[in-house]
Amino acid sequence: MNELFGTLSDGTEVHLWTLERAGTRVEVLTYGAIVRSVRVPDREGRTAEVVLGFAGLDGYLAHPGPYFGALVGRYANRIAHARFPLDGVVYALEPNSGPNSLHGGARGFDKRVWAAEPVEGGVRLSRVGPHGEEGFPGRLEVSATYTLDACGALRIAYEAVTDAPTVINLTNHSYFNLAGSGHAGGHELRLAASRFTPVDADLIPTGVLADVAGSRFDFRASRTVGSGYDHNFVLDKGVTTDPQEAAELHDPASGRTLTVATTEPGVQLYTADHLASPFAPGDGIALETQHFPDSPNHPDFPSTVLRPGETFRSQTVYVFSAR
């Protein structure tokens, strides 16, 4: 189902697409390719909203910084000093987080209106990022396909091609609260990650892959999340062709459980400690499947370079259940 959700100041219409299957109901916006709503049942069959979002377009325009539910790119997460080398050329980006680039710049993919077309089980959103957009090289044709499978799992499949060498890192920035409201710090989390990437004061990776053993970053066995996280975890599986399980988030009170599978090598755990009105710090937990932050400046990290003739492909699957 497709309906008008709002209109931007320049007259551009924003549409809302509703997907519903097997007890899961998902709403996706053409603005920012945002996941506006996910409604799933608890162990008693009671349905609730499990992602943070707004009833109208004005809410997203007034609160762009937290990236509620958005598709972020061309490069998700941070690039140090808003610059990176590629094939002997240093590209300068638009800094939007102190001296650094965050989530693609001040007008990244999250602030663009995407074209939409129906596909079996969902909707395909697409756009063309011109060469030089926010400083990134190459004309990028990119799509994100949102579908619900027969079990009600949400799959996001990304694809992109370029006409010049560039870098790309895409993710969805939904904040999950499986209780439906309140502080999410009591959720239990398991991450299939034996290492993480320590960061400096600007949240830029130092380049070290540190062992989680004996630290507060060890989520290999499920435990309460708490707060104080905005870190990339190095998944043991690495980059894979097909999505493999990476994380499980569970709310003991409602029984709702989210299992995340991905082809990506990392997950950014963000406990939303800086959210502000109309939400409160810790009201949601983001699990951003991704390549590592600042990879273009760390040759030892998995590569995020995309070249002409190649196709970027990435998939993440969100499976909802209750126990």
Q: What is the pTM of this model?
A: 0.98
For residues 71 and 103, what is the distance between their CA atoms, to the nearest angstrom?
9
For residues 38 and 23, what is the distance between their CA atoms, to the nearest angstrom?
10
**The pLDDT value given to residue 322:** 98
3-state secondary structure labels for all residues of the chain: CEEEEEECCCCCEEEEEEEEECCEEEEEECECCCEEEEEEECCCCCEEECECCCCCHHHHHHCCCCCCCCEECCECCEEHHHEEEECCEEEECCCCECCEEECCCCCCHHHCECEEEEECCEEEEEEEECCCHHHCCCCEEEEEEEEECCCCCEEEEEEEEECCCEECECEECCEECCCCCCCCCCCEEEECEEEEECECCCCCECCCCEECCCCCCCCCCCEECCCCCEEEEEECCCCCCCCEEEEEEECCCCCEEEEEEECCCEEEEECCCCCCCCCCCCCCEEEEEECCCCHHHCCCCCCCEECCCCCEEEEEEEEEEEC
Handedness of CA 211, 261, 43, 37 (dihedral sign): positive
Domains and CATH numbers, the chain: 2-322 (2.70.98.10)
**The pLDDT value given to residue 247:** 98
| Strand pairing category for 24-29 and 13-21 | antiparallel
Region class of 62: left (phi > 0), else alpha (psi between -120 and 50), else beta: alpha
Tens of pLDDT, residue by residue over 104-123, are 999 999 999 999 999 999 99
Burial of 62 (0-12, 13-18, 19+ CB in 10 A): exposed
**The pLDDT value given to residue 1:** 81
Binding site for beta-D-galactose: residue ranges?
77-78, 173-175, 230
**From the candidates 103, 133, 173, 248, which is the catalytic residue?**
173
For residues 237 and 220, what is the distance between their CA atoms, to the nearest angstrom?
13
| 62 CB-near residues (< 8 Å, 6+ apart) | none
**From the candidates 103, 250, 288, 298, which is the catalytic residue?**
288
Phi, psi of 106 (to 5 degrees): -60, -35
Known active-site residue 173: yes
- For residue 294, give the nearest of 268, 272, 313 by alpha carbon: 268
| 323 CB-near residues (< 8 Å, 6+ apart) | 43, 250, 255, 257
Query: Is 104 within 8 Å of 169 (Cβ atoms)?
Result: no
Two tokens, residue 309: 């003739």
Residues of the chain with pLDDT under 50: none
Binding site: residue ranges?
77-78, 173-175, 230
3-state secondary structure labels for all residues of 107-162: CCHHHCECEEEEECCEEEEEEEECCCHHHCCCCEEEEEEEEECCCCCEEEEEEEEE
